[in-house]
Amino acid sequence: MTNKDTTINRRILDVIDAIYDASIDPTHWQRALKSACALLEADAGQMGHFDHNNGQFNVSILFSDGDMHWNDTLQKKQEQHMAEDPRIKLCNQYPGKPISCRLYLTDEELHESQVYKDVLQFSRAEYSMLVVLKDAKNESFTGFGMFRPPEKEAFTQEECDLMGELVPHLKRAFAIQKRLGEALLYKHMATSALDHIPLGMFIVDAQCQIRFSNAMAQTFLKERDGFLDQPERLTLQSTQGNRALRSLVEKAVGKGEGSKSPVDSRTLAVSRKHGEGQLSILVSPLSDNSLPPGLDHLDIPLAVVFVTDPTQPQETPPELVQRLFGLTSREAELTAQLVMGRTLQETAAALDITDNTARSHLKAVFGKTNTSRQHDLVRLVMASPVWMRKTPAALDHDDALDALFEGSRRYLLYN
């Protein structure tokens, strides 16, 4: 093997290493494109992924190591001309095969194309070597390209073959990246949904190590009211209460003394630092051995710990109550006040209405909800989906994907 072959093999391995790093952290596409440019003696490289079903996964990342230009305007124009781009048409005829466009297109054919007039002559991408990758269902396609300016020479077939060594790794990397992106998106949606729930939720292992906590659970820790502010381990301030909590968790995961399997849910009252009532805790087993074969070793015994503060009023948005039960706005406001634990007289004062008017509204609410007592009305509302915080965290799918592509914009030129 010659020194040149050794150098090429080393550079190929550098590109492959960067490609797989990029599959789990897209900021590494910069290094992958830079390494590919060094391998193929290109002045610029581009990776573009386009998903027909979910545009949130679309991304175009570029690297330039020479006097080549790119910006969002050129990127958008390129997308507009993609259908008639002769280079893309050529690559679509040979998916998965790297193509040096100048081996198939004459100068005149390329220069007469609209994509050249509007994009390529300004970016100075005179010579292109491209490969288009499509998934099995044709739901998305990914383009990987190397470019040279007019003063250089066209890519050779030998360089196309060299780029072909990267194709199977690119396919796997893009598949991995999409699966991880979807998993992150689903995790974000589930976490945001749990943050809506007006009670604290901890998921812990047998040693009370916290594996997950929702927004309200984190609030309990930060306020240090009944709990120690230890984000790694769920710990009560009361030594006696902490021993009781650990015993319940051990039993819930089937690790307690004499336990062979998880037990049913158990409850515990927790003293607060100022003695103002008690926090209520419910501990339940969580693991259900539902992981697929090959991942069952990750299914460790876990317990879920729910925490509520009975002294906190439960906020119920009146507009949601109004829509769900067909109430007037005033009737919904009165119902929301009752759910918060206020008496009818306190509700009348809060709404600046007379007691007689409040009783009249309540009678109308009873008729519309098929209830006859305040207790039944409150229980009906509390059992409905409107029982949530007034300002829940938003389910922002874009934020999840921004985290996946953290450090890069949709169209980004690396220098």
φ/ψ (deg, to 5) at 203: -110, 125
pLDDT of the residue at 391? 45
Picking from 159, 87, 93, the residue whose alpha carbon sits closest to that of residue 130 is: 87
pLDDT tens-digit series, residues 51-61:
777 766 677 88
Q: Residue 45 has which token pair?
A: 């490289």
Q: How far apart are CA 415 and CA 409, in angstroms?
A: 14
What single letter denotes the amino acid at residue 251?
K
pLDDT tens-digit series, residues 350-404:
999 999 999 999 999 999 999 999 988 988 887 887 766 544 444 444 454 455 4
Question: Could you identify the residue written with the tokens 């589930």?
Answer: 190
Could you give all domains of the chain from N- to C-terminal order, each with its CATH number?
Answer: 3-181+403-414 (3.30.450.80), 198-312 (3.30.450.20), 318-382 (1.10.10.10)
- Spatial contact of 40 and 170, defined as CB atoms under 8 Å apart: no
pLDDT of the residue at 162? 94
pLDDT of the residue at 297? 59
Residue 39, Cα to own-chain centre: how many angstroms? Answer: 34
Strand partners, 283: 266, 305
- Strands 411-414 and 266-271 come out as unpaired
Q: Where are the beta strands (DSSP E) in 135-249?
A: 140-148, 200-204, 210-213
Q: What is the DSSP letter of 234?
A: -
Angle, CA 281 vertex, CA 275 and CA 283 arms, to 5°: 155
What single letter denotes the amino acid at residue 354?
T
Cα torsion 210, 214, 217, 223 to 10°: value is 110
pLDDT of the residue at 301? 86
Contact residues for 359 (Cβ-Cβ < 8 A; gap 6+): 344
Q: What residues in the chain have per-residue pLDDT under 70?
A: 1, 55-57, 255-263, 273-276, 287-299, 313-316, 387-415
The DSSP result for 305-372, as a single string, is EEEE-TTSPPP--HHHHHHHHT--HHHHHHHHHHHTT--HHHHHHHHT--HHHHHHHHHHHHHHHT--
Picking from 216, 217, 225, the residue whose alpha carbon sits closest to that of residue 388 is: 216
Strand ranges across the sheet with 44-51: 99-100, 127-134, 140-148, 44-51, 59-64, 411-414
Rg (CA), the chain: 31
pLDDT of the residue at 238? 86
Q: How far apart are CA 70 and CA 63, in angstroms?
A: 9
pLDDT of the residue at 256? 52
Question: Could you identify the residue written with the tokens 């993609």?
Answer: 82
Q: How far apart are CA 136 and CA 95, in angstroms?
A: 12
pLDDT of the residue at 410? 38
User: Chain-wide mean pLDDT for the chain?
Assistant: 83
